[in-house]
Chains A and B, each alone.
Chain A
Amino acid sequence: MSAGLRERALAAASGVVDPEIPVLTIADLGVLRAVRLAGDTVEIEITPTYSGCPAMRVIEQELATALRAAGIGKFRIATVLSPAWTTDWLSKEGRRKLAEFGIAPPAGISRRSHFGTDAVACPRCGSAETERISEFGSTACKALYRCRRCAEPFDYFKCH
């Protein structure tokens, strides 16, 4: 019975999508950190991508809706900051979906040099001849790039 409850909760929580990048689920993103049972209460842990990520409140609401729709009434949703989220947690499936959606997935693993840019392939034509327009894009987790071959601008999900 309780094993079934956890599975239902996990399935419901894993299906919640990111409100700003709706091709990704919060499980793909690594934002969903834990789904477990404490007695008959479902405990869910999520972690923000960035300190000020405005999607967190919406994600909490969507989680609550999804759990209730799965017939789960007793749950707690906690935000945890540690360990800090990193793009290394983005699933393979998540990276593939990002590229298909037109957002270049993070190139390589997170790193912290002060200067320099990542080598990013254009998600449209695949060219490596791209350049950064701005390190900051439409959401905290993305940067703005442009492809020099197909001339299209595109979002890059930056390493973090």
Chain B
Amino acid sequence: MSALFDYTLRLADSALILGHRLSEWIGHAPLLEEELALGNLALDLIGQARALYAYAGAVEGKGRDEDALAYLRDCGQFRNLLLVEQPNGDFAVTIARQLLYSAFAHPFWRDLARSRDATLAAIAAKAEKESAYHLRHAGEWLIRLGDGTAESHRRAQAALDTLWPYVGELFESDAVEEALVNQGIAVDPAALRPEWERSVQAIIAEATLAAPAGTGMQSGGRIGRHSEHLGHLLATMQFLQRAYPGASW
């Protein structure tokens, strides 16, 4: 399996799983404007995933298209970050997850837009603009929740505390990334940490929340070791293709 395929698949899986999570809010969002916003965010992420899957399939050269990669792999073959598969929880958890991811994704896509791989660079250039909206949206909401009522403050703090163990994985890399970083294709995620810290800490402070102090971090998404939540997500997302293989309309 080539490093480029693996790398592209990781990016695609994170975008798809987070996009699917956000789509779970459709019909349940706390207000109409937020229903539209979360749907828009999901659409951006699933659009990014489609472009990445199509490219991964072409790189692999075994005839797998975006649908085969999204619908016909099981948990252990998914390579997404653990953060993005965490359940929506209450609205505060969804917003905190979006902030922690987007504060990473925005500088990540910006830097990947300078990749020597022309296709990844093109996908990244589009995704960067979109992730800027996502970051702004999540940041504004976290401030509103944290600096809102006692109840919204309590929930926003609980959300950050719940998700914090998954932020360490954002900045990890393995041999796949290292090989591609050396070729000028991939972004070294560790290099993005200072910028992520600055933007996240500034928003947490403005939200009158406290950055969790925990340092124990979970990881494993890169090697397909997931939390129990991913299987449930896939069971819903992949149901149609599992029950009616090859169905289309």
Residues of A within 8 A of B (CB): 48, 50-54, 80-85, 110, 112, 114-115, 133-138, 140, 144, 160
Contacts and interface: CB of A to CB of B under 8 A. Distances in A.
Given A54-B43, A114-B139, A144-B33, 6 more contacts: A51-B48, A51-B50, A52-B42, A52-B50, A112-B129, A136-B37
B51 interface: yes
A50 B126 contact: yes
B51 A51 contact: yes
A148 B26 CA distance: 30
Residues of B contacting A: mostly: helix
Contacts of B135: 114
Contacts of A140: 40, 43-44
A114 B44 CA distance: 18
Which range holds the interface residue count of chain B?
Answer: 20 to 34
Interface centre among A85, A136, A140, A144 (most CB of B within 10 A): A136
Contacts of A51: 44, 47-48, 50-51, 123, 126-127, 130
A104 B178 CA distance: 46
Nearest to A114: B136
Contacts of B36: 134, 136-138, 144
B180 interface: no
18 contacts: A48-B126, A50-B44, A51-B127, A51-B130, A52-B44, A52-B45, A52-B46, A82-B118, A82-B122, A84-B129, A134-B33, A134-B34, A134-B37, A135-B136, A136-B36, A137-B36, A140-B40, A144-B33
Interface in B47-100: 47-48, 50-51
Which A-B residue pairs are the 8 nearest by beta carbons?
A52-B47, A51-B47, A82-B122, A52-B43, A136-B37, A134-B33, A81-B122, A136-B40
B95 to A, nearest CB: 14
Interface in B110-169: 118-119, 121-123, 125-127, 129-130, 132-133, 135-137, 139-140
